[in-house]
Structure 1
Amino acid sequence: MKNYIIILLSLMILWSCEDVLDKPPLDTITDKEITFSKKEMELYANKFYGNFPTHEGYWLGIFEMDNSSDNMISGDYNYNAQLAGTIQVPGSGGGWDFSKVRSANFFLENYHKTEEELSTVSAYIGEMYFWRAWFYFDLVKAFGDVPWYSKTLTTESEELYAPRTPRNVVVDSILVDLDQAIAMLPEKGQETEGRIYREIALLFQSRVALYEGTWEKYHNGTDFGVDNADWDKYFRKATEAANQVMTSGHFAIDKAGTSPSEHYWGLFNQEDYSNSQEIMLWKKWDLSLNLYHLASAFFGVSDKNTGISKSLVNSYLCTDGKPIAVSDLYLGDDLIDEELSNRDPRLAQTIFVRGDVRNISGTDTSFFSVPDLTLEARLRNTTGYQLAKGNNPTADRTSNQDITGSIIFRYAEVLLNYAEAKAELNECTQSVLDESVNLLRDRVDMPHLTVDPGFDEGASKTFPQLSQLMNEIRRERRVELACEGYRFDDLMRWAAADIIQRPMLGAKIQQYADIKDEFRPVLVPEALFSKNGYIAPYENSPAKDGWQFNPNKNYLKPLPSNQLTLNPNLEQNPGY
Structure 2
Amino acid sequence: MKKLIKYICAVSLLLFTQACNDEYLDRLPLDSPSSETFFANETELEMAVTGVYNRLWYSTQGAVWFLSFDFASDDGWDRNGSALQALGRGEQNADNGYTNGFWSAFYRAINRVNFITSGSEELKAKMDPEKYNRLVGEARFLRAYFYAYLAELYGDVPLVITTLSLDEAQTPRTPKSEVIDFVLAELNEVKEYLPMNANDKGKVTKGTVLALISRVALWNERWQEAADAAKELMDSGAYQIDPNYSGMFTFSGNQSPEVIMRINYLRGVTTHNTPRDFLSRMSLGHSNKKPPQDFVDTFDCIDGLPIDKSPLYDTQHPFENRDPRMNYTLVVPGSRLVNWIFETHRDSTLTWEFRGDEKVRVPNIEAQHAYASFTGYLFRKHVDVADYPTNVGASEQSLTIFRLGEVLLNYAEAKVEMNEIDASVYEAINSIRTRESVNMPPIAEGKTQDELRNLIRKERRSELGMEGFRYFDIRRWKIAEDVIPGPVRGRVNRYGAGGWLNEPPIIDPMGTPSYDHISNASEMVVIETRAFNPSRDYLWPIPRIELETNKALTQNPGY
User: What band does the TM-score fall into relative to the shorter chain?
Assistant: 0.7 to 0.9
Q: Is the 8 A contact 2:71 2:88 kept in 1?
A: no
Deviation of residue 428 (structure 1)? Answer: 2.9
Q: Give the distance between the partners of 2:461 and 2:495, measured in 1 at CA.
A: 25
Query: Residue 324 of structure 1: which of 307, 316, 324 is its match?
Result: 307
1:385 matched residue in structure 2: 377
- Indicate whether 1:418 and 2:411 are aligned: yes
SS in 2 for 1:253: coil
Q: Give the distance between the partners of 1:567 and 1:499, measured in 2 at CA.
A: 36
Q: Is the 8 A contact 2:70 2:76 kept in 1?
A: yes
Q: Give 1:267's aligned amino acid.
A: M
Structure richer in helix, relative to its length: 2
1:342 matched residue in structure 2: 321
- Indicate whether 1:430 and 2:428 are aligned: no
SS in 1 for 2:379: coil
Deviation of residue 103 (structure 1)? Answer: 2.1
2:89 matched residue in structure 1: 84
Q: 1:73 to 1:364 in 2, by over 3 A?
A: farther
Q: Deviations over 1:503-541 (max 9, x none)?
A: 22122236984699xxxxxxxxxxxxx952212112xxx
SS in 2 for 1:186: coil
Deviation of residue 293 (structure 1)? Answer: 4.4
Q: 1:196 to 1:339 in 2, by over 3 A?
A: same
Q: Give the distance between the partners of 1:252 and 1:326, measured in 2 at CA.
A: 33
Deviation of residue 168 (structure 1)? Answer: 0.6
Deviation of residue 437 (structure 1)? Answer: 4.3
Q: Is the 8 A contact 1:371 1:385 kept in 2?
A: no
Q: 1:71 to 1:107 in 2, by over 3 A?
A: same
What TM-score, normalized to structure 2?
Answer: 0.77
How many pairs were matched up?
482
Q: 1:266 to 1:149 in 2, by over 3 A?
A: closer
2:212 matched residue in structure 1: 204
Q: Give 1:345's aligned amino acid.
A: P
1:450 matched residue in structure 2: 444
Q: Deviations over 1:341-367 (max 9, x none)?
A: 222111123222424242499958889
2:17 matched residue in structure 1: none
1:501 matched residue in structure 2: 485
- Indicate whether 1:106 and 2:115 are aligned: yes
Q: Is the 8 A contact 1:316 1:344 kept in 2?
A: yes
SS in 1 for 2:229: helix
Deviation of residue 186 (structure 1)? Answer: 2.0
Q: 1:438 to 1:254 in 2, by over 3 A?
A: closer
Q: Give the distance between the partners of 1:320 and 1:416, measured in 2 at CA.
A: 21
Deviation of residue 386 (structure 1)? Answer: 2.2
Matches within 5 A, 1:18-167: 29-52=33-56, 59=63, 65-76=69-80, 79-90=84-95, 95-97=102-104, 98-114=107-123, 115-157=126-168, 160-167=169-176
Q: Give 2:112's aligned amino acid.
A: S
Query: Residue 366 of structure 2: which of 368, 372, 381 is its match?
Result: 372
2:247 matched residue in structure 1: 266
Query: Residue 258 of structure 2: which of 268, 278, 284 is its match?
Result: 278
Q: 1:565 to 1:303 in 2, by over 3 A?
A: closer
Q: 1:194 to 1:388 in 2, by over 3 A?
A: closer
Q: Give the distance between the partners of 1:240 and 1:34, measured in 2 at CA.
A: 39
1:8 matched residue in structure 2: none
Structure index of larger Rg: 2
SS in 1 for 2:318: helix
Q: Give the distance between the partners of 2:70 and 2:406, measured in 1 at CA.
A: 16
Deviation of residue 573 (structure 1)? Answer: 0.7
Deviation of residue 138 (structure 1)? Answer: 2.3
Q: Give 1:99's aligned amino acid.
A: R
Q: Deviations over 1:321-343 (max 9, x none)?
A: 122233333223xx3xx211222
SS in 2 for 1:408: strand
- Indicate whether 1:174 and 2:183 are aligned: yes
Q: Deviations over 1:425-481 (max 9, x none)?
A: 112323212134443333411111234459xxxxxxxxxxx9232111011111111
Q: 1:209 to 1:411 in 2, by over 3 A?
A: same
Q: Is the 8 A contact 2:241 2:431 kept in 1?
A: no
Q: Give the distance between the partners of 1:179 and 1:43, measured in 2 at CA.
A: 25
- Indicate whether 1:472 and 2:455 are aligned: yes
Q: 1:314 to 1:238 in 2, by over 3 A?
A: same
Relative contact order, higher structure (CA 8 A, sep 6+): 1
Q: Give the distance between the partners of 1:143 and 1:56, measured in 2 at CA.
A: 17
Q: Give 1:431's aligned amino acid.
A: S
Q: Is the 8 A contact 1:282 1:407 kept in 2?
A: yes
Q: Give the distance between the partners of 2:71 and 2:130, measured in 1 at CA.
A: 44
Q: Give 1:74's aligned amino acid.
A: D
2:295 matched residue in structure 1: 312
Query: Residue 433 of structure 2: which of 416, 430, 440 is its match?
Result: 440
1:194 matched residue in structure 2: 202
Structure richer in strand, relative to its length: 2
User: Which deviates the most, 148-157 or 387-396?
Assistant: 387-396
Q: 1:200 to 1:36 in 2, by over 3 A?
A: farther
Q: 1:36 to 1:394 in 2, by over 3 A?
A: same
Q: Deviations over 1:49-81 (max 9, x none)?
A: 223358999657765552121112233576343
Q: Is the 8 A contact 2:290 2:373 kept in 1?
A: yes
2:526 matched residue in structure 1: 536
Aligned-residue sequence identity (percent) comes to: 29
Q: Is the 8 A contact 1:164 1:570 kept in 2?
A: yes
1:9 matched residue in structure 2: none
Q: 1:88 to 1:273 in 2, by over 3 A?
A: closer
What TM-score, normalized to structure 1?
Answer: 0.75
Q: 1:499 to 1:452 in 2, by over 3 A?
A: farther
Q: Is the 8 A contact 1:54 1:283 kept in 2?
A: no
Deviation of residue 161 (structure 1)? Answer: 3.6
Aligned-residue Cα RMSD (Å) equals: 3.4
Q: 1:303 to 1:130 in 2, by over 3 A?
A: same
Q: Is the 8 A contact 1:359 1:394 kept in 2?
A: no
Q: Deviations over 1:288-320 (max 9, x none)?
A: x67654444342224522322121112111222
Q: Give the distance between the partners of 2:411 and 2:496, measured in 1 at CA.
A: 41
Segments of structure 1 that go 5 or more residues without pairing to the other structure are 4-26, 214-233, 257-263, 455-465, 517-529
Q: Is the 8 A contact 2:70 2:469 kept in 1?
A: yes
SS in 1 for 2:110: helix
Q: Give 1:499's aligned amino acid.
A: V
SS in 2 for 1:413: helix
Q: Is the 8 A contact 2:42 2:127 kept in 1?
A: yes
Q: Is the 8 A contact 1:307 1:386 kept in 2?
A: yes
Q: 1:42 to 1:355 in 2, by over 3 A?
A: same
Segments of structure 2 that go 5 or more residues without pairing to the other structure are 1-24, 26-30, 341-353, 501-519
SS in 2 for 1:119: helix
